[in-house]
Amino acid sequence: MKMKFSQRIAIGYYRTKIKTVALVSARKAAEMAFDLFCTPYKNSRTYKAPPIFSKSKQLIFELNKTQIYGWIWKPAQSNGKKVLIVHGFNSYSYKFEKYVLLLLGNGFEVLAFDAPAHGLSVGKRINALLYSEMILKIDKLYGSLYGIMAHSIGGLAASLAAEKMNSLQKLVLIAPATETNTAIDHFFKFIQLPDSLKSNFEEVLVDIAQKPIAHFSVSRAIRQITANTLWLHDTEDKICPFSDAVPVQQMNLPHVRFHVTKGLGHSNIYKEQKVANTIVSFF
């Protein structure tokens, strides 16, 4: 992952601070680390809305006293089905303009929302549990969803939500953050925190979520989901490794179909036209 100089400086600052606090209190240091784990990188750029967003109706609702911004599009000729687009970490809905256009062209009503602390939405932190609650609230407020397509941490959040959505018929997981344990390992290596702090970090997560870390796993949730699922993953994904998806692939679940690519990585996979066509065709 390439970082700007300012990002490297910031990470170095937090690394030093967490390690210093750990000398006094491992628990306090772990709380600081978890807070950083849930914090998107700040980006000062102002993104210009793609043209299709000017043709939407903007939606706003509150989630835990945080304003969530979204959009809804209605097709010229509706097939009566609604699809929600769910972006990943450090991302935002504007990046999925291609899918809005393709889905609209095929008669789908399309919804997209920026997660807390992302895009236009308010907030400072995001985690899979909060994100899944957002998806469930969208389903409740704006009508029964026929399908969801979700990328990265959005894929984990969508899986957690889909467990509770009996009416959901189609789920598309694009390079999902399959195992939270893997995400934690990558975070510790990325920030260069000592492994001795990891058990305290995991305790903080469990205390906040009131669920074991094993609960936050797509490979666990997928067995409870009733929706037909298309799972897309690249073998060279360095963010959410394909190796985490292999055990699910080997389950041969009747409601799950895999589409495996090579050389697209974590983010380019959803930008590739053949992948986009596969997703829309699945819906």
pLDDT, tens only, 191-236: 999 999 999 999 999 999 999 999 999 999 999 999 999 999 999 9
pLDDT at site 30? 97
Kindly tell me if the per-residue pLDDT of 2 is higher than 60. no
* Cβ contact 169:192 at 8 Å: no
Range 16-43 average pLDDT: 91
Tokens standing for residue 203: 């305790």
Give the global pTM: 0.94
Distances (CA, A) of 7 to 34, 41, 206, 241: 18, 8, 28, 23
Hey, what CATH topology would domain 55-179+217-282 get? Rossmann fold (3.40.50)
- In the chain, residues under CATH classification 3.40.50.1820 are 55-179+217-282
pLDDT digits (tens, 9 = 90+) for 69-126: 999 999 999 999 999 999 999 999 999 999 999 999 999 999 999 999 999 999 999 9
Amino acid 14: pLDDT: 87
pLDDT for the residue numbered 114: 97
Q: How many C-beta atoms lie closer than 10 Å to residue 27's C-beta?
A: 16
Contact 100, 110 (CB under 8 A): yes
- The proportion of the chain whose per-residue pLDDT surpasses 70, expressed as a percent, equals 96
Q: What is the pLDDT of residue 216?
A: 97
Mean pLDDT of the chain: 94
Binning pLDDT at 50, 70 and 90, where does residue 9 land? confident
Confidence class for position 7, pLDDT limits 50, 70, 90:
low
Dihedral sign, CA of 105, 99, 160, 253? positive
